[in-house]
């Protein structure tokens, strides 16, 4: 009887150790930074770039969706540069107040359209972000179709007079 009880206790200890002990060997996913959305992110000095992506219907004009989180007390002008199909560098900019987040491209946010590009849905499109004298970074933004949560965020045609 004692042997059976001891064997049961050992078996329970092995099962508990085997099923919970694996967490000592595996890395914690919560300790790794990753982009938990469709867009990508990076850090430029005091600016955290979050969920940057493009939404397009025709592949020639795309809405930029991006969140710029300024962690400094001072406002900055973030430059966004891209190359159009004519091989011309196009510069756009977004002002971000100190200690705040600039939301661009959402339903109730400022709109920024990249025009004259070749970026069909499913591709990656290069943009260069920089501000002040902080070294800039080139990002390859995912280009998405205006489906699901991105429906209605694509650029709309400008009415002609």
CA count, 13 A, side-chain hemisphere, 129: 25
Q: What confidence tens digit (pLDDT) does each residue in 49-89 have?
A: 999 999 999 999 999 999 999 999 999 999 999 999 999 99
Query: Nearest-CA neighbor of 120 among 56, 64, 53?
Result: 56
**Can you give the pTM of this predicted structure?**
0.78
Summarised one tens digit per residue, pLDDT across range 47-59 is: 999 999 999 999 9
Structure tokens at 126: 């290069």
Residue 26 pLDDT level (bands cut at 50, 70, 90): low
Task: Say how far apart CA 15 and CA 92 lie, in whole Å.
Answer: 60
| DSSP structural state of residue 99 | T
Domains in the chain, CATH or no CATH each:
38-150 (2.60.40.1890)
């Amino acid at each position: 009887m004692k042997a059976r009880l001891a064997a049961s206790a050992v078996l329970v200890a092995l099962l508990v150790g085997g099923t919970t002990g694996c967490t000592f060997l595996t890395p914690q996913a919560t300790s790794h930074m990753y982009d938990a959305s469709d867009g990508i992110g990076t850090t430029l000095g005091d600016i955290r770039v979050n969920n940057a992506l493009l939404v397009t219907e025709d592949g020639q004009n795309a809405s930029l969706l991006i969140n710029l989180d300024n962690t400094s007390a001072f406002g900055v002008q973030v430059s966004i540069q891209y190359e159009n199909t004519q091989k011309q560098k196009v510069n756009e900019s977004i002002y971000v107040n100190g200690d705040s987040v600039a939301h661009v491209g959402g339903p109730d946010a400022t709109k920024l359209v990249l025009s004259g590009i070749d970026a069909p849905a499913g591709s990656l499109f290069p943009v260069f972000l920089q501000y002040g004298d902080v070294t800039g970074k080139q990002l390859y933004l995912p280009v998405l179709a205006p489906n699901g949560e991105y429906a209605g965020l694509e650029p709309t045609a400008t009415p002609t007079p």
